[in-house]
Amino acid sequence: MLKSVLFIPYIKNNNKIKIFLQKRTKDAKNMPGFYGFWGGLVENGENIEEALIREIKEELDIKISNYNKLGIFNFGKSEKHIFVKEVLEDFENSIDIKEGDEGRWFNLEEVKKEEKIREDYKEVISRIINKLN
């Protein structure tokens, strides 16, 4: 089974959670133009946390710490290790997006309405936001 790491930065404001998702490029191999999670596959010889740190450095040009593992979700033939981190509202000013077109903040209502988020991701996002509340 393939293993991957997913990173979800979030802010909590007035007991409302917003998560920061990646918009995939139009020429991406999988789900072009859709919103998804930051992260990627665990490479040979890496443990889960090493993969997380590498992927986020590659995609957002930051070294993350003080993150929390929220759980493991299975998507078909892939095991996704979900990590979250509460960040400051100016998080976008501290990163440099290297992969994907952009990042965007979503609350749960916006996630449910967004046509460019996979349905199975919407279910996971809903569970994640409920756990964070």
* DSSP conformation class of 24: P
Q: What is the pLDDT of residue 77?
A: 84
What residue ranges do the domains of the chain occupy? 2-132
Residues of the chain with pLDDT under 70: none
pTM (2 decimals)? 0.93
**pLDDT tens column, 53-69:** 999 999 999 999 999 99
Nearby residues of 1 by Cβ (< 8 Å), 6 or more positions away: 77, 78, 79
Helix, strand or coil for residue 39? strand
CATH superfamily, domain 2-132, is: Nucleoside Triphosphate Pyrophosphohydrolase (3.90.79.10)
